[in-house]
Amino acid sequence: MNRLIHYLCLLCFLSFSQALYFHIGETERKCFIEEIPDETMVIGNYKTQLFDKNVNDYLPSSPGVGMHVEVKDPDGKLLLSKVYSSEGRFTFTSHTPGEHVICLYSNSTKWSMFAGGKLRVHLDIQVGEHANDYQTIAEKDKLTELQLRVRQLLDQVEQITKEQNYQRYREERFRQTSESTNQRVLWWSIAQTLILTLTGFWQMRHLKGFFEAKKLV
């Protein structure tokens, strides 16, 4: 039990390595394009930090700054358009497979006055699976360290399997498009040859009629 607590403490250190972050300007709009299969739930966690000129560093939290999250599906239809507080989580489920556009921009204009113009946004977008919080899992299921490690490995292998399934779906889509291109090349070549011959015939006939009318033939 002692060891478990110790390991969880180590996990605490691990957890300080948090999500990817980037900076956006006041009116700047950052868009991420994600390729998502259909009927998949997507969870996005984000957190914003304001730059404080007095401390010359980023404040741990920035109340009052809202983030506008906009999600468009491959056909351009709006799936989600909501304003969230300075940190939070947004979820949406995709209904068509393809490229979804997730856009983030700040909705307030006041913070640039004292923020030096930059907002730090931490973002973590997960497609299709839940964020596994191993600390709570370990506490809930009362796992030993070894069991927790094995559980982590099992989850990773499950991820690999999901990725392989998605790869298979991608390959099928790829093959369909290739076959469609093949068909198109064939049929358009036939059509072009046909059009060429027909216009040739029409041309000859028209000119023959014309010359006969002109009494040249």
Partner 1 sequence: MGSVVQTYIFLVATVVSALAQPDTQPAQGDPLMKTGSRPYVSYDFTIQIRARAEECFHQYTSVGSIINVEYEVLSASSRGRSYDIDFILRGPTGQMMKRISGEEDGSYKVTITREGVYTMCFDNGASKFTAKNVYIEITIIQRGEWRKYIEMQRGEVEAEEDAEEEVETALDTVADSMVDKIETIADLIDDMIFKQVSTRRIAIKDWYLVIQNNSYVQQWSIIQCIVIVAASVFQTFFVRRLFNIKTVTPTQKPRA
Positions in 62-91 near partner 1 (CB under 8 A): 87-89
- Interface size with partner 1, residues (CB under 8 A): 80
CB of 68 or CB of 98, closer to partner 1: 98
Encoded tokens for 214: 């002109």
Among 53, 77, 82, 206, binds partner 1 (CB under 8 A): 206
Residue 35 CB, shortest distance to partner 1, in Å, is 7
Encoded tokens for 199: 């216009």
Among 63, 174, 208, 212, binds partner 1 (CB under 8 A): 174
CB of 83 or CB of 204, closer to partner 1: 204
Question: How many Å from the N-terminal Cα to the C-terminal Cα in the chain?
Answer: 109
CB of 116 or CB of 200, closer to partner 1: 200
Among 7, 92, 105, 111, binds partner 1 (CB under 8 A): 7
Asked if 149 touches partner 1 (CB under 8 A), the answer is: yes
Q: Give alpha helix (H) positions in 75-133.
A: 112-115
Window contacting partner 1 (CB under 8 A); options: 44-52, 62-70, 72-80, 111-119: 44-52
Asked if 210 touches partner 1 (CB under 8 A), the answer is: yes
Q: Distance of CA 171 to CAs 47, 115, 166, 181, Å?
A: 36, 47, 9, 15
Window contacting partner 1 (CB under 8 A); options: 68-76, 78-86, 106-114, 164-172: 164-172
Q: Distance of CA 113 to CAs 30, 51, 53, 86, Å?
A: 21, 11, 10, 17
Asked if 158 touches partner 1 (CB under 8 A), the answer is: no
Q: What is the DSSP letter of 91?
A: E
Among 85, 95, 199, 217, binds partner 1 (CB under 8 A): 199
Residue 132 CB, shortest distance to partner 1, in Å, is 6
* Cα(23)–Cα(50) distance, integer angstroms: 10
Asked if 169 touches partner 1 (CB under 8 A), the answer is: no
Residue 108 CB, shortest distance to partner 1, in Å, is 21
Encoded tokens for 85: 């507080």
* Cα(92)–Cα(43) distance, integer angstroms: 7
* Cα(215)–Cα(209) distance, integer angstroms: 10
Among 83, 91, 107, 153, binds partner 1 (CB under 8 A): 153
- What contacts 177, CB < 8 A, 6 or more positions away? none
